[in-house]
């Protein structure tokens, strides 16, 4: 009886998706497609705005920043996106029986919070995170996104040098006891699969509840849940893409992100060139400028560098933090806490101070097609992506820059 059940087509299909992890390039391609659909519906994938919205709502409960008008999470597309990515990754971890509460040593939890705090400052100053200002910003043909990317890379390299120094000279700072709870083996833990079904049904109900009054939110909920599940199954993480070639030399993480960038680049360019979703010349220009933030060049450089420092110390970028929260990795819970609690504080105190000292020439919206045309902008971005691909594959083969 058990053998016939194991050979059932639906069981086989389920095991295909959840029996083992997906190649990260598969996750990147699917995430790039879903990102393009989000843009076609309204606007692309981003995380920092939703994280800030969650933080604003938490502070408002306690009466802090009372003069600020706070949009409830259930009315904010990106606030809900953050919640749904966590829920989607939770479902993916449950279906694959990978969910467990993994509690690291205290030093790692401290680094998680500090990394999250730095990411919060970087995202608010640079107007975007590893998703909004990189994975979505670069395909949106934003000049500021390119600056953010190079600065984020510099931050990753510097903090990676620090982590290597810490391992060699201060290993006790992050060592100690770690604990794992609720872990199951592949042949047991049926409760995780059942709970995963409950989570998926909950996501479907949430989406349906908006369908009659807010179809955009309904689709954001469905797509965000899928993004969380896909990120968890493919281990999609941008800090891994930037960090691993310089640690182990592996290029798998980079390949996944590169695949997603190329798919998004083609989709975003088509939407902007043809003005999909616009109904007038004025709205066509607004469509073109979607996800082109006023941060070129100094704000993007400062924000990207700080964000790169933070995500490497935390061990997870914006999306990597969220899907690891769904997996039960407590270090990343602290990272998410740092993101959520510090983002509103940075928006209130740090960002105005930075804006007050920067001239307009250091914080404007730079749209590459305005200078290079669509052909030139597309080819420039595609060329940079392919150059990155060539470098990580060459380095994987030669190990020239691995572990510096």
What is the spatial distance between Cα 303 and Cα 358, in angstroms, rounded to a whole number?
A: 13
Give yes or no for residue 130 having a pLDDT over 50. Answer: yes
Enumerate helices (H) and strands (E) in the chain, giving the number of each.
17, 4
What is the spatial distance between Cα 45 and Cα 85, in angstroms, rounded to a whole number?
A: 11
- Please spell the DSSP secondary structure of 177-215, one letter per residue: --EEES---TTS-HHHHHHHHHHHHHHHHHHHHHHTT-H
What confidence score (pLDDT) does residue 402 get? Answer: 85
What confidence score (pLDDT) does residue 278 get? Answer: 77
pLDDT digits (tens, 9 = 90+) for 163-195: 999 999 999 999 999 999 999 998 899 999 999
What is the spatial distance between Cα 401 and Cα 18, in angstroms, rounded to a whole number?
A: 34
Over residues 364-387, the mean pLDDT reads 98
Q: 127 phi and psi, to 5 degrees?
A: 55, 60
Give yes or no for residue 4 having a pLDDT over 60. Answer: no
DSSP state, 342?
H
What confidence score (pLDDT) does residue 337 get? Answer: 98
What is the spatial distance between Cα 181 and Cα 101, in angstroms, rounded to a whole number?
A: 5
Binning pLDDT at 50, 70 and 90, where does residue 6 land? low
Classify residue 326 as exposed, middle or buried by CB count within 10 Å of its CB (0-12, 13-18, 19+). buried
Name the β-bridge partners of 367.
142
What confidence score (pLDDT) does residue 37 get? Answer: 97
What is the spatial distance between Cα 404 and Cα 25, in angstroms, rounded to a whole number?
A: 25
Over residues 202-226, the mean pLDDT reads 98
3-state helix, strand, coil in the chain (%, to 5): 75, 5, 25
Over residues 340-358, the mean pLDDT reads 97
Over residues 27-39, the mean pLDDT reads 98
What confidence score (pLDDT) does residue 66 get? Answer: 58
Over residues 18-29, the mean pLDDT reads 96
What confidence score (pLDDT) does residue 1 get? Answer: 35
* Average pLDDT over all residues of the chain: 95
Over residues 243-261, the mean pLDDT reads 96
Q: Give the CA distances from residue 202 to residues 13, 56, 212, 218, in Å, rounded to whole numbers and listed in that order.
A: 22, 25, 17, 13
Omega into 297 within 30° of 0, i.e. cis? Answer: yes
User: Which of 147-156, 170-179, 260-269 has the least mean pLDDT?
Assistant: 170-179
Where b means 16+ CB within 10 Å and e means fewer, 188-215 reads: ebeebeebbeebbeebeebbeebeeeee
| pTM for the full predicted model | 0.96
Give yes or no for residue 8 having a pLDDT over 50. Answer: yes
Give yes or no for residue 3 having a pLDDT over 60. Answer: no
């Amino acid at each position: 009886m058990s053998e016939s059940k194991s050979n059932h087509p639906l069981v086989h299909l389920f095991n295909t998706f959840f029996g083992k992890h997906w190649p990260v390039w598969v996750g990147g391609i699917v995430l790039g497609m879903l990102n393009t659909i989000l843009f076609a519906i309204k606007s692309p994938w981003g995380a920092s705005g939703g994280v800030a919205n969650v933080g604003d709502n938490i502070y408002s409960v306690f009466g802090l920043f009372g003069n600020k008008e706070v949009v409830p999470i259930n009315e904010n597309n990106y606030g809900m996106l953050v919640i749904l990515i966590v829920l989607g990754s939770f479902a993916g971890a449950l279906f694959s029986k990978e969910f467990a509460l993994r509690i690291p040593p205290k030093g790692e939890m401290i680094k998680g919070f500090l990394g999250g705090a730095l990411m919060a400052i970087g995202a608010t100053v640079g107007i975007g995170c590893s998703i909004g200002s990189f994975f979505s910003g670069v395909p949106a043909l934003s000049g500021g996104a390119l600056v953010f990317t190079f600065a984020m890379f510099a931050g990753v390299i510097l903090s990676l040098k620090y982590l290597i120094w810490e391992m060699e000279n201060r290993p006790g700072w992050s060592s100690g006891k770690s604990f794992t709870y609720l872990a199951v083996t592949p042949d047991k833990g049926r409760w995780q699969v059942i709970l995963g079904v409950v989570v998926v049904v909950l996501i479907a109900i949430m989406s349906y509840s908006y369908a009659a009054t807010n179809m955009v939110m309904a689709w954001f909920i469905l797509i965000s849940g899928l993004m969380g599940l896909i990120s968890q199954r493919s281990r999609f993480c941008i800090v891994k893409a930037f960090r691993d070639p310089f640690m182990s030399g592996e290029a798998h993480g980079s390949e996944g992100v590169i695949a997603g960038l190329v798919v998004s680049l083609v989709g975003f360019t088509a939407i902007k060139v043809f003005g999909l979703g616009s109904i007038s010349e004025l709205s066509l220009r607004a469509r073109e400028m979607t996800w082109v933030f006023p941060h070129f060049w100094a704000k993007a450089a400062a924000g990207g560098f700080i964000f790169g420092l933070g995500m490497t110390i935390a061990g997870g970028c914006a999306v990597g933090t969220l899907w690891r929260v769904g997996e039960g990795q407590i270090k990343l819970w602290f990272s998410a806490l740092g993101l959520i609690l510090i983002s509103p504080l940075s928006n209130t105190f740090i960002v105005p101070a930075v804006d007050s000292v920067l001239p307009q020439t250091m914080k404007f919206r730079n749209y590459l097609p305005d200078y290079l045309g669509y052909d030139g902008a597309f080819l420039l971005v595609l060329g940079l992506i392919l150059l990155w691909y060539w470098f990580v594959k060459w380095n994987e083969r030669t190990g020239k820059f691995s572990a510096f």
